[in-house]
Amino acid sequence: MARRDSGLRFQPSGGTRATQVPTGKKQRLNIERLANDGRGVGFVDGRTWFVSGSLAGEDVEARVLGAHGKVVEARTERVFETSALRRTAACPHFGQCGGCSLQHMPHDEQLALKQRMLADQLSRVAGVEPEEWAAPLTGDEYAYRRRARVAVRWDAKAKRLDVGFRAASSQDIVAIDQCPVLVQALQPIIKALPAMLKSLSKPQALGHVELFSGSANAVLVRHTAPLVDADLHILDAFCQAHAAQLWLHGEGEPQPVDAGAQLGYTLEPWNLMLAYRPGDFVQVNAQVNTAMIQQALSWLAPRSDERVLDLFCGLGNFALPLARIAREVVAVEGVDAMVRRAADNAVSNNLHNVRFHQADLSQPLDKATWAVEGFSAVLLDPPRDGAFEVVSRLRKLGAERLVYVSCNPATLARDTVELIRQGYRLKRAGILDMFPQTAHVEAMALFEASK
């Protein structure tokens, strides 16, 4: 039976829906200011545009990457009127590669942007400003990154292997043969890597490739199917030619081809060597990492008769230097494999006054057996989610001083609210420029218990 047309027509509630801005559309606009993430902000037809690669005061042509509601995300295609601050990017892939977003901005302006971001979060969320602002902790602008993940994808239709870094706001892969933020030791490897991978007979088996530089250089190949002998020979020969270890990651944990291969990094001021395996978390910026530890120890000021707690301790990056000073260090980490490797690092460095424990750090810790004695000082370095559940009970541990190292100012500000509620005051804060040429902000804050 045919459906009868009643003649009625219905409009969606809320009135006529506004036409969405199509992806790929080009728009000329003026950039009025910078957002906290370094993107330029402009306004067209009642919409707010966030434009990467632009600076305040510039007149640009932007290409739309995506739009939702009244917000448009775009990237700079052309600059008609240039800011006096603009500089030429050091990398030819800037603007396409998603790794760096601020190469067009002078380094001192990058630092000022990150400082504003931290200050804004503390003021807006926590309603507080530190009693003292510390100078930014900085290192080299370029050639600082000692670890990188290279994307690899087989295009079955084109019968082509794409090798490079992920594009900005996209899953596309930007072909690369250089990366100025990588440490010098990895530059020859990344330059020769694409051609070598494309020479493999079964590139479909590749997942991704990671590069490491520490006590040795290393190449980790993630594979989703067994590698054939001919391809293993090519990979091994490539690594030997570049004096690098070859690690393979199929099922289970990554394994070195040479069973005796050791990978690690040094903390020279404390005469320490920390072993790690690909997949473990390590700070990518060795120079700033060392300066960060020095500053954290200076701010925390542990005494030789004190018991100190290190939360989210990882491989012992803070715990082992602390053990050179304090009477006793208790270090806690959520990942059991990291706890075991941290304990091994303590033994290999002949440190016997530090104890490592595995615990769920999303839960309060004041009832743990190792916490009963309390601590004079606490250092914590949580992931981006912060440490709200942990800090909610810190005052019960008796800590007089607390150093909080953060990779997310938003969660640092949220946790600051809780610490102030417990009677701590924000004594000092500052940024750590762990990732130059990006808008990523790391910070350090010192809290002291009110007398």
Nearest-10 Cα torsion for 372, 377, 382, 385: 80
Q: β-pairing, 328-333 with 354-358?
A: parallel
DSSP letter, residue 283: -
Give dist(CA 199, CA 228) in Å, integer.
13
Give dist(CA 65, CA 322) in Å, integer.
46
Count Cβ atoms below 10 Å from residue 256 Cβ, excluding itself. 17
| Known catalytic residue at 407 | yes
Which of 17, 11, 41 shows the shortest CA–CA distance to 29? 41
Residues composing the chain: 451
CA distance readout (Å), 407 to 118, 121, 376: 11, 13, 24
Question: Which of helix, strand or coil describes residue 93?
Answer: coil
Task: For residue 433, give the amino acid letter.
Answer: D
> Own/partner pairs for 191-198, CB < 8 Å, 24+ apart?
192/238, 192/242, 193/150, 193/163, 193/219, 193/238, 194/163, 194/164, 196/234, 196/235, 196/238, 197/152, 197/161, 197/163, 198/161, 198/163
CA distance readout (Å), 46 to 22, 37, 49: 16, 22, 10
Task: For residue 277, give the amino acid letter.
Answer: R
- CA 180, 183, 184, 189 torsion: positive or negative? negative
Give dist(CA 193, CA 206) in Å, integer.
13
Of residues 97, 179, 313, 407, which has the active-site annotation? 407
Active site residues: 407
